[in-house]
Chains A and B, each alone.
Chain A
Amino acid sequence: MFSPAVLYILLLVGGPFFLAIFYAFSDARIGNAEMHFVGLENFRSILQSPSFRVAIRNSFIFTICSQIVVIVGANILAISLEKTFRGRGIIRFLILLPWVAPIALGAIGWKWILDSIYSVITWVLVAIHIYKPFSAPMWLGEPRLAIASVLLVHSWRLMPFSTVILLAGRTAIPKDIPEAAAVDGAGFWRTQLQIVIPMMRPIISVAVLFGLIFTFTDMTVVYILTAGGPFDSTQTLPSLAFALGIQGSDLAAGAAISLFLVPLLVIIAYFMLRVAHRAEVN
């Protein structure tokens, strides 16, 4: 009874995956029916292009930095949400919004917050006299600030997800263990750092692994906030693949670029399997 599902997945996930590999070694273009094998030509020209180097660097910067912010923030937030208190349901709903709302819409909200003229952040900075009127930087218009903005939005989006996963991990820890530690004289932070967080290692790795995948393969945030600009400075692997492969009609180049996502995906899948395997053994 699982064959229809398996067949569907083979056809529409497996098939396109091999088609992507096939394209990457060809000169396929949109609107051109002919296609030739060109060997490693696409990879050679990609590796030489400066915008590709920026894209691969950005992909790693966005992914790693935002995950560091997320995992620190999510641990703190999970600790403060663990005990029940009045209004917890509402707080949880509000905290979850960035994750559950469509990311394209959340990102548009940020685009307005970071607007070049009417940004509320700029208004506050002018109001407290950090900048004079009209002298504040354009958040999405300067490469460094644009990179920081994309990083901010990625962290904002994934923090709720990691928080609820870690929260699930916390509630699964038997209550008597941290209590015993407290009786033995361990303070709050010592209990957290030396007992609870090590016990949560598998669940923290699950949160991080998903977070890495979701950020590394995302193109929505960059596409909406900056469309890769200014001057391709915020381009990532997926957004560059879209810009070249779809908007630029160069299917071969786009496919070759997106294949650079695969090594990291394989590594993450390997670690995911290890977590699943351990859970099965225990």
Chain B
Amino acid sequence: MSNTFLSFENEPGRLIVNVMGQWVFDEVLALEHATATVNPESGQSVTFQCAGLEEIDIAGAWVLYDRTEQLAVDGIKSEFTGFKAAHFKFLQNIIDAAAIRDYEEPPEHPVRPQRVRKAVENLGSNSSVVIEDLGEIARSVLEGMRSPSLYMVGETIKQVYQTGVQAIPVVMVITFLIGIVTVHQAASQLEKFGATVLVVDLVSISITREMGVLLAAIMVAGRSGSAFAAALGVMKLNEEVDAMRVLGLNPNQMLVIPRILGLVIALPILTIFADIAGIAGGALIAIGSMGISGLQFLERVAYSTDLTNFYIGLIKAPVFALLIAAVGTLRGMQVKSSAEELGLKTTMAVVQSIFMIIVADALFATLFTRMGI
């Protein structure tokens, strides 16, 4: 009975165990198997001979100590001879072994009723927090309007640039492509009725009323909603927001309002660019491959799409902007403790703002249809 780490000598009344080799962290698994073979007969005590020990660290010492503790439970005494490292005494000094063994494996699945209860509780507390935060933001807006500071104006202009002007190229490219797609899809259907020219009506109405503003808003939600949440979240983690409050500044006014205002200004501008690009995309295909002349195209656009369509698209933009900016900044301000939370809140900001944009769009569509425009 022997292995790399232990060899045994049986004497009447005691078992001598020679401890040898490398009792280190990397070998813990093998060491545990080895120590499990120390099984003295009843009435025997165990003596660990440690003179052959090459190296031992805390992990190795722990395995040995752990075994002697287990033996002690069975009423078997163990002693050590020739121990050169101070580790063992060190262990004894610090271990409250009972406390360490107090380990229970966590249940794999939390009990279901608790989960549901927690979810309901969270929903309740979250919505009250959201209402409170929204109220605070609204109050700050009113205060800010009563006494606008130069800083806020500057910051708002910066936000218009970052969220609006810088987004123009990507928004235009996307709506341009969607214009192309719309014309292609519609043409193959309308051709059957010999009404190919109606693709112009279709693309110009759908882009101005719906697609332009919707695509711009979704793009901005992904681009700026996430940026708002992440930027404010990091500022919260760095205690910058606290520092502002201590300085007597209102972080809502300094950080939130400029972002909301900036986006409310920027998104309608983006929408105009999106409309132009979308119709241009449609025109490219209609004129280029469907035999509709440029003049004909313009004529159909002018005939089918009056300014009402354009305004309907445009009026949705500030509402969408408000939703994106409010959700993004609110989620950012809710970050409290950890980097993980930051990621979570940023994700929530994007997902929720896109969700709310589409819900709002559906409401608008119903409203405008009822109104007959």
* A and B physically associate: no
Could you list which residues of chain B lie within 8 angstroms of chain A, going by C-beta atoms? none
Could you list which residues of chain A lie within 8 angstroms of chain B, going by C-beta atoms? none
